[in-house]
Each structure stands twice: as C-alpha cells, then as structure tokens.
Amino acid sequence: MTNASKPPAPDTAEPSDHQNPNVDLDAMLAAAKPGASASTPVDATGQRCGLIAIVGKPNVGKSTLMNALVGQKVSITSRKAQTTRHRITGIRTKDGTQFVFVDTPGFQTRHSTALNKSLNKTVMGAIGDVDLILFVVEAGSFTLADAKVLSLFKPGIPTLLVANKLDTVHRRAEIAPWLRDMQERHPFAEFVPMSAKNKGDIERLFGIVGKYLPEQPWWYAEDELTDRSEKFLASETVREKLFRFTGDELPYTSTVVVDKFEEEKSKQHKRFIKIAVTIVVERDGHKAMVIGDKGERLKRISTEARQELEKLMDAKVFLEVWVKVRSGWADDEARVRSFGYE
C-alpha cells in the first residue's frame, strides 16, 4: 500500500454549478452523463485523487452505495440497521481519477451507550478530513435523524445530497418540491437523485464526484480496492452471516472478535489460513439463537463464512467459530475498546 495519509490538497476543482444546484429533476437525471469531464484541466500526470466520505443515518444504503462504487463487496450490507461499525476505505481508480471512499457507521441518535458514542466519533473522524461528503438520505424523506447528521458537517467541505432509493419513489413529481426544501436546509453543492442499485446512476455519480477531487498523483496502486486487512475481512464476513441468518432477532450489539488468524505452510494448498473467531452476545438467549437447533444455525454461519473467505482470499480456510456471552459489553467503554472500537 502506498501512503494513505492525506497530503495537503491543491486547489480543489470548482464546478460551475457549485453554488447553484438545479432542482429540476428531469434535467438533473439527464445531466452529468457517465464520465462527465472535469471542469478544470487535469495536471501533467493527468491524475486526480481524493477522499470521499459516505455519510448518513442507518439503513439509507451507504454500504450498498460504496460497494457499487468500488465494484466489489468490501463493506457488509444487511437489511438490519447498524451493521456497519468500522471506517472502511474502498478504492476505485477510473478515468484518470482515484476515488478513495470512507464508509461510516449509520449515525446513532437514539441510544447513548459507549458503543454508540464510539460509532459517532468514527463518523466525526471520517468527515473532518475529506474532499467531498456524500450525504445519503432516502429520496423524498428527511427525518430528525437525518437532520442530526447534517448538523455535524463543517462548512467548507462540498457536500452532495445523494437522494437514494429513488426506485422506491412512485410519484416522481413529489421529488422536485422535496429537493427545493432540501436546498433551503443546507448549501448542497449538487443534488443527485439516484438508486445505489442502478448501474447507470453509479456511473453518473462517478462523473459528478470526480469534479470535486484535487489534481494530484494517486495514493494507491490502480488495482487496490481496500486497505483493510484480511483479518478484518474475516470478522466482517462472519458478522454478515451472523446477521443474515439470525434475521431481526439478534440485537446489533452482538459482535465478532478474531482470536487467531494464522497463515500456515501447506503442500496441498497455495495458501492455508487458520482462523478462530468469537461471536460475542449479550445474553444466554442470544447465544441459543446464534447456535440454533442442534447447532444448525452456527454451522451454516461458519460454513458460508468459510466459503466466502476462501473465495475472497484465494486460500484454503480452516474456520473455528465460538459463541460467548458478555452481558452489558456495549455499555462498558473499556470493553468496547478491547473489541477494537476506538
């Protein structure tokens, strides 16, 4: 990995429509064709590069968006709110521009446990030092939780309003007045009504975002997708399966800790990795839920996680999964830290 710290940004591109967002939905949807050219000429190396934070309340589609932008699954997605806890960088290099994305946990406003305080700190850390913020909301909706996230933004960082899940809005005509209302709330640089699940919209977003990134050499190799370790991918993969197979029953305070991650020499396999993880839950009842009838559910979680990790890491994986009860861990600051949250 090359230098990941952010060098001082040279003058950021200033798109012509920066101060004057257009709220005509049709025009907006028709504009900014994929690969739209940058509004200022690129430097001699022809490279642009910058940090982009994807921010929004839980469940608005931030992880879905980042995965679509990066082109490969790096952050887990789930129907359950609050499944993204760590700052994750996804990298995509395209059309002379390197896009470095920072995914953030959904901003928690309802509860104030130590865990949530840590999540909120991660969000704050992620948006203080970026070239562009993608503020994601559900198209046509703006709740108190959205307003709380928006109130954190420091002036000076260009912010795009990504009105996601446009496919779920049946009456498009209602979006224009909503966008006008949004324009009153914050000086958004641009509005992007879209669906993170629509490929054309993702291409269009690249064209828009590229204009805001400074001209400077890339920080990462062209084919790098994430700066997260395989150990982290292991815990994320188990966590995704855990939530997928327990549905809405399991509280989001359940977490996954990697106890062992060792690559061993093997004559049979190109790579052989031994991993041991512990799923930490708050109550005995949750433990029973994770294990399932005759251990069936835990077996499914482990098997699917192992298969996915084998593909992701191109290795033979031996995965051991344990379940432990640690009641009240989400309220205990020291313990939250010991599980890897800052």
Ligand X SMILES: Nc1nc2c(ncn2[C@@H]2O[C@H](COP(=O)(O)OP(=O)(O)OP(=O)(O)O)[C@@H](O)[C@H]2O)c(=O)[nH]1
274 with 260: CB under 8 angstroms? yes
Nearest-angstrom CA–CA distance, 254 and 231: 18
Residues 173-202 within binding reach of ligand X (CB under 6 A) = 195-197
Q: Is 216 in the site for ligand X (CB under 6 A)?
A: no
Residues 103-162 within binding reach of ligand X (CB under 6 A) = 105-106
Is the Cβ of residue 188 or residue 243 nearer to ligand X in the bound state?
A: 243
Kindly tell me which residue out of 78, 98, 120, 253 binds ligand X, with binding defined by CB under 6 A.
Answer: 78
Considering the complex, what minimum distance in angstroms separates the CB of residue 244 from ligand X? 11
Q: Is 278 in the site for ligand X (CB under 6 A)?
A: no
Is the Cβ of residue 32 or residue 196 nearer to ligand X in the bound state?
A: 196
Three-class DSSP category at 174 = helix
326 phi and psi, to 5 degrees?
A: -135, 90
Is the Cβ of residue 48 or residue 62 nearer to ligand X in the bound state?
A: 62
**Pick from 133, 139, 152: which is nearest to 190 by CA?**
133
Considering the complex, what minimum distance in angstroms separates the CB of residue 73 from ligand X? 11
Piece of 19-27, 81-89, 301-309, 325-333 that binds ligand X (CB under 6 A): 81-89
Residue 12 CB coordination number (10 Å): 17
Q: Is 164 in the site for ligand X (CB under 6 A)?
A: yes
Nearest-angstrom CA–CA distance, 16 and 219: 27
Piece of 51-59, 150-158, 210-218, 311-319 that binds ligand X (CB under 6 A): 51-59
Is the Cβ of residue 21 or residue 106 nearer to ligand X in the bound state?
A: 106
| Binding residue positions for GTP | 56-63, 103-107, 164-167
Size of the site for ligand X (CB under 6 A): 24
**Residue 187 half-sphere exposure, CB side, CA atoms within 13 Å?**
9
**Pick from 90, 70, 52: which is nearest to 189 by CA?**
52
Is the Cβ of residue 66 or residue 189 nearer to ligand X in the bound state?
A: 66
Nearest-angstrom CA–CA distance, 250 and 248: 6
Q: Is 337 in the site for ligand X (CB under 6 A)?
A: no
Three-class DSSP category at 39 = coil
Q: Which residue has the tokens 């789930």?
A: 78
**Pick from 70, 67, 101, 105: which is nearest to 84 by CA?**
105
Catalog residues that contact ligand X under the rule CB under 6 A.
56, 58-64, 77-79, 81-84, 105-106, 164-165, 167-168, 195-197
